[in-house]
Amino acid sequence: MKTLNFLITQAAAFAVMLSTQAQGTFQNLNFESANVGSLTFAFSVPVSSALPAWTVNIGSIQQTGIGYNAPSTGAPAVWLIGPGYGPTGFAPIDGNYSVILQGSFTASAPSISQTGLIPDGTQSLLFEAQAGSGALNILVGTQIVPFADVGNGPNYTLYGINISEWAGQTEQLTFSALQGYTGMNDWTIDDISFSTTAIAPEPNIVALTAIGGLLFGARKWFTQR
């Protein structure tokens, strides 16, 4: 049964991905445009080289450089992970590069943002992630938009957001990791894409149990009448 559910989830996620259309004027949504040369790690690589097209902020302060294969030991940070990173626990989700937003105990949230045209006909925004210990905020313009689990891959969760109301508009897209609840709030992000398919979250087991209980109660009530 678990295998069947996994296959169904994978098929649904694949179907959603197939519906993905042009990315408007957004660039480097899979972070594969990084140009770090022959480096295997660095404490600071220019944002323009590590994350072309993206702006990096810690709180309200724009950053000129980020770490490459060099996680923060305590402060909030944005860093790029790629080939050559040795310690276990972190690895690119797909391809050569992923971005890690490392929220800390402070309120200065690390974020990446980019302004572009959201394609006409867009219904949803998809992204792959490995969740951290705290919250992730996603903003379209200045509005925080909720996201939901819509599928799973071998090493990530596929999340989806309804952004149909912004289709055809030029907006800023921001991903921001908030303070960690029990420590560093590490969100690994990859493969952001726009889709013309409307999505709905996978059924929540608690919700399904509640619905089942209601249906059982209703059936029992009608039987007794």
pLDDT given at position 5: 42
- Does residue 177 have a pLDDT over 80? yes
pLDDT in tens, 61-114: 999 999 999 888 888 999 999 987 766 567 899 999 999 999 988 778 999 999
Pairwise CA distance, residues 41 & 142, whole Å = 34
- Between 184 and 36, residue with greater pLDDT: 36
**Is 10 a residue whose pLDDT tops 90?**
no
Q: What is the pLDDT of residue 204?
A: 42
**CA nearest to 100, candidates 184, 206, 194:** 184
- Three-state secondary-structure class, residue 14: helix
Its pTM stands at 0.78
- pLDDT 10s digits, 144-169: 999 999 999 999 999 999 999 999 99
Phi and psi (nearest 5°) for 212? -60, -40
What is the count of structural domains for the chain? Answer: 1
213 backbone dihedrals φ, ψ, rounded to 5°: -65, -40
Q: How confident is the model at residue 1 (pLDDT cuts 50, 70, 90)?
A: very low
Mean pLDDT, rounded, for 180-196? 87
- The reported pLDDT for the residue numbered 211 is 37
pLDDT tens digits for range 11-64: 444 444 444 456 889 999 999 999 998 888 899 999 999 999 999 999 999 999
Domain containing 123: what range?
Answer: 2-224
In this predicted model, which residue has the larger pLDDT, 101 or 215? 101
Predicted confidence band of residue 218 (pLDDT cuts 50, 70, 90): very low
Gyration radius of the chain's alpha carbons: 20
The CATH number linked to 167 is: 2.60.120.200
pLDDT confidence tier of residue 184, bands split at 50, 70 and 90: confident
For range 188-193, the mean pLDDT = 97
By C-alpha distance, which of 162, 198, 195 is closest to 21?
195
